[in-house]
Amino acid sequence: MKKIYLLLCCVVLISACQPAPEPTPQPSATSTTIATEATIIVPTVTEIQPSETPIPTTTSETIKISAKDGMTQIYIPSGTFMMGGMDVYRENDELPAHEVFLDAFWIDQIEVTNGMYGLCVQAAECRMPVEVRSDNREEYFGNPEFQDYPVVNVTWFDANAYCTWAERRLPTEAEWEYAARGNDKRNFPWGDEPPNEYTANFINLIGDTSRVGSYGEGASPFGVLDMAGNVSEWVSDFYRMDYYAKSPSENPTGPSAEEVFNVMRVIRGGSFQDESYDLRVSNRNYIEGPNPKAQPNEDEFYGKYSVKIGFRCVADG
């Protein structure tokens, strides 16, 4: 079952096989250069919109560009949705499915990239990724070839530091699921059909991460990309298996530190290695976050990391 202490990635095994060629992005995308302290390649919203999946019309009221890192942010209006598992693959920690109301917020359209994260490192506000490699690429972070691929090997501590620097924050579980699902009870961001090579990077079809925004047909109802597959994503919440039974019906933020007996933090979305059922929008997973009782020179102070885990940020509406 999935509920393991995901990849104790301080000792990530290095695969000897080379990743298969990546599929042509759907739709094909080009890059635009953002003028920063270092040249960062960032895909723009117009380049990575899917060609067939209906997306709300983008206007100055529904998208904005962060001056801090060039990230395109999508406006998610306030609303009510059903949160939790409603399909045959649902697990106990996804139950009960329950109605949640959320205030409006903005969410990053794509996962934070190596290039974006590099700006925070340059500003001395973020640590370097714990490892600069990816699963099958020895030179990944800092390599211009992978500037617009998702940053990995970052702990919850690192992701939180980045979002703070970028004047945003990590999403709550509820915000993440609403942005991925919308209000029609779908099981995947694009609907109820299982993932395929055009909607998500999963089951090692590629063998590593993909360029952000490469799967336009996998967009969520709001036009948010890569919320299934590619890399799993840190969210702000502590993990508690039975939290949904007592979760508030408005703007839940997860259990408090006093309500949990460990340092587990939730991750969402599934990764390039995961099976299709792990990509469901209701799927919850977890791994160790920062341990405040540890010392700053100890790994436990920052928490675990993985070649499969990245993140995105949100801002209040």
pLDDT at 110: 98
pTM over 0.85: no
Q: Supply the CATH number for residue 188's domain.
A: 3.90.1580.10
Domain contains 139: yes
pLDDT at 61: 79
Domain contains 135: yes
pLDDT at 132: 98
Domain contains 246: yes
Edge to edge, the sheet with strand 264-268 lists 285-288, 264-268, 232-238, 309-311
309-311 vs 232-238, strand pairing mode? parallel
Domain contains 99: yes
Domain contains 19: no
Under 8 Å between Cβ of 70 and 119: no
Domain contains 16: no
User: Which domain, by its residues, includes 106?
Assistant: 26-317
Domain contains 1: no
> Nearest Cα to 6, choosing from 310, 317, 308, 230?
308
309-311 vs 98-102, strand pairing mode? unpaired
Average pLDDT, consecutive stretches of 10 residues, N- to C-terminus, the chain (317 residues): 36 35 38 33 38 45 95 98 97 98 98 98 98 98 98 98 98 98 97 98 97 98 98 98 97 96 97 98 98 95 98 97
Under 8 Å between Cβ of 310 and 171: no
Q: Is 292 exposed, middle or buried (0-12, 13-18, 19+ CB in 10 A)?
A: exposed
Residue 239 in tokens: 């993990």
Q: Domain tally for the chain? A: 1
Under 8 Å between Cβ of 229 and 306: no
Domain contains 7: no
Under 8 Å between Cβ of 212 and 110: yes
